[in-house]
Amino acid sequence: MTFGFAPSSAASLSTSASAASANRLLEPAEWAAAGIPLLRNPREVVSGLHSRHHPKPATAIVAVLDQEERVRASASFIGRTASADGWMFRNALLAQLRRVIPHDLRRRTPVRTAVLLYCRDGDQRWTEEDGAWMWGLRDACTLHGLRCGAYITLTRDGWQVLGEGRGGRRPNADSAPEPFAISEAPPPLPRTGGAASEVLRRAAAR
């Protein structure tokens, strides 16, 4: 499996995996080796979250899936910061998870899975910002008693499940939300904003 890399002024492309972890980001090889469970139908998950939250660039959507890959809770918020900081992303994700669903820390083995869809500018190549979101998602899942699931990017070129090589052209960052199937229950009102969003906005403003 091969990955493309977008240029970054924050660090050279020769940064080692251990150094990346110390900077609170995960590189594609680390993510692919982490045993992240595969989505059975990623397009259905992406289309459902896109229809619920209508994301635009800089929108992060964290969703909790049950064992049948049904969305049990989801929240969207503006996730852009002045720099790619996995610790800040972790805190923002954890704050949103705490708002929308109880933790599963009492279970010996997690039964629910959290996935993250991030709508951003640029192409579909991995960036350090993606690596910071990956680190943040993995750590937030551990602290909330969830399995760490897929990290998905949504750009104007389409969507892509990082580390799996699966993706599609629609939905994308510019497309209109697709209607829900008639048999599907109406989507719950998306939760947006919150204290974590304000923290991120203040950080971006500095």
Count of structural domains within the chain: 1
Q: Is residue 150 part of a domain?
A: yes
The dihedral region occupied by 156, where left means phi > 0, alpha psi between -120 and 50, and beta the remainder, is alpha
Q: Is residue 70 part of a domain?
A: yes
Q: Is residue 9 part of a domain?
A: no
Q: Is residue 153 part of a domain?
A: yes
What range does the domain containing 118 cover? 17-205
* Sign of the four-CA dihedral 162, 164, 165, 171: negative
Query: For 132-158, what is each residue's pLDDT tens digit?
Result: 999 999 999 999 999 999 999 999 999
* Sign of the four-CA dihedral 27, 54, 203, 87: negative
Bridge partners of residue 74, in order along the sequence: 63
Determine the Cα–Cα distance for residues 188 and 45; give it in Å rounded to an integer.
Answer: 15
Confidence (pTM): 0.77
Q: Is residue 48 part of a domain?
A: yes
Query: For 82-132, what is each residue's pLDDT tens digit?
Result: 778 999 999 999 999 999 999 999 888 999 999 999 999 999 999 999 999
Whether the CB-CB separation of 161 and 129 falls below 8 Å is answered with no
Bridge-based pairing state of the strands 147-155 and 113-119: parallel
CATH number of the domain bearing residue 61: 3.40.140.10
